[in-house]
């Protein structure tokens, strides 16, 4: 058995093992791509609307992955910049709540025949359910001594970070549903515009997920990989939305409101207090305003 190479008292990585990992990763990626292509070919033949929805969801997932990529080449982010970027992410989430989730949810409820009070109460109930789910999650997440063996502030930061990441990932699912519902409708051009608009919105979301994980102390590869993967729920949501809209379109308003409530909880309970805790209130607030305005423009201009 060959002995491992040692330099300056440290064991160097085995190049053969690194090559094997690379080949394994490439093979898995190729198999996944082939599987997605085969699924799309099947759906495009048997259920064209669902196949088109899958492509729209993949476009949105690719945009999320594109947003996470810059973190792979960035240097260590200073705390002031971290708080500014987290504030920027909070602004994106806040605008997404209003313009991507709540308003479309109200419109979807009205299209289902509910009056102003019925639509408003439905979305209000879904928002409260989403916030309650995040409150329960906050209570049941492992306490400090169970997270990476750390105690005190590092563990609290990890819980806060994962709530933030979970909320952004969660809201991608009803966005995927919206893409699927659009392709199941009668106007493919409008559905394509909706998918493109959601994809552009997803670029900064992938960025802030990767930055949040990197700031929490995770390895750069993990932060980028998870940021890229956070959009994978959108193709799933798109396929489900297109497949079941004929008999369960009433779920769409509830899904949109639920995601909005979850995001509002995280913004108020976790992100804003964290960005203000280190004395960076002004840059964090400026980041929030910029994120809100950017997402508002994207949401309203690309409809």
pLDDT in tens, 161-177: 777 788 777 767 777 77
27-36, 117-126, 173-182: range with lowest mean pLDDT: 27-36
> Residue 185 has what DSSP assignment?
S
- Cβ atoms of 64 and 202 closer than 8 Å: yes
Rounded CA-CA distance 162/167 in Å is 8
What are the tens digits of pLDDT across the range 241-289? 777 665 666 777 887 788 788 778 878 887 788 788 878 889 989 989 9
User: For all residues of the chain together, what is the average pLDDT?
Assistant: 75
pLDDT band at 146 (very low <50, low <70, confident <90, very high): very low
Q: Which two tokens stand for residue 278?
A: 């280190």
| Cα 300 from Cα 303, distance rounded (Å) | 6
């Amino acid at each position: 058995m060959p002995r491992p190479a040692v330099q300056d008292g440290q064991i160097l990585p085995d190049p053969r093992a690194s090559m094997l990992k690379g080949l394994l990763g490439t093979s898995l990626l190729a198999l996944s791509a082939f599987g997605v292509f085969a699924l799309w070919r099947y759906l495009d033949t048997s259920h064209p609307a669902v196949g088109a929805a899958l492509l729209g969801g993949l476009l949105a997932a690719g945009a999320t992955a594109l947003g996470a990529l810059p973190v792979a080449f960035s240097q260590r982010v200073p705390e002031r910049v971290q708080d500014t970027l987290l504030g920027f992410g909070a602004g994106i989430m806040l605008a997404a709540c209003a313009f991507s989730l709540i308003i479309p949810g109200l419109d979807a409820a009205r299209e289902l025949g509910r009056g102003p009070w019925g639509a408003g109460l439905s979305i209000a109930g879904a928002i409260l359910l989403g916030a309650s789910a995040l409150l329960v999650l906050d209570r049941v997440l492992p306490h400090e001594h169970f997270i990476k063996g750390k105690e005190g502030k590092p563990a609290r930061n990890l819980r806060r970070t994962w709530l933030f990441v979970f909320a952004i990932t969660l809201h991608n699912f009803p966005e995927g549903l919206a893409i699927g519902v659009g392709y199941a409708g009668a106007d493919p051009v409008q559905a394509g515009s909706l998918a493109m608009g959601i994809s552009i919105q997803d670029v900064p979301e992938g960025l802030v997920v990767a930055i949040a994980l990197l700031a929490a102390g995770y390895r750069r590869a993990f932060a980028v990989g998870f940021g890229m993967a956070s959009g994978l729920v959108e193709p799933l949501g798109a396929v489900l939305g297109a497949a079941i809209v004929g008999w369960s379109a009433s779920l769409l308003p509830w899904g949109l409101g639920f995601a909005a409530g979850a995001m509002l909880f995280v913004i108020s309970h976790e992100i804003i207090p964290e960005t203000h805790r280190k004395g960076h209130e002004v840059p964090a607030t400026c980041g929030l305003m910029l994120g809100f305005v950017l997402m508002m423009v994207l949401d309203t201009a690309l409809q």
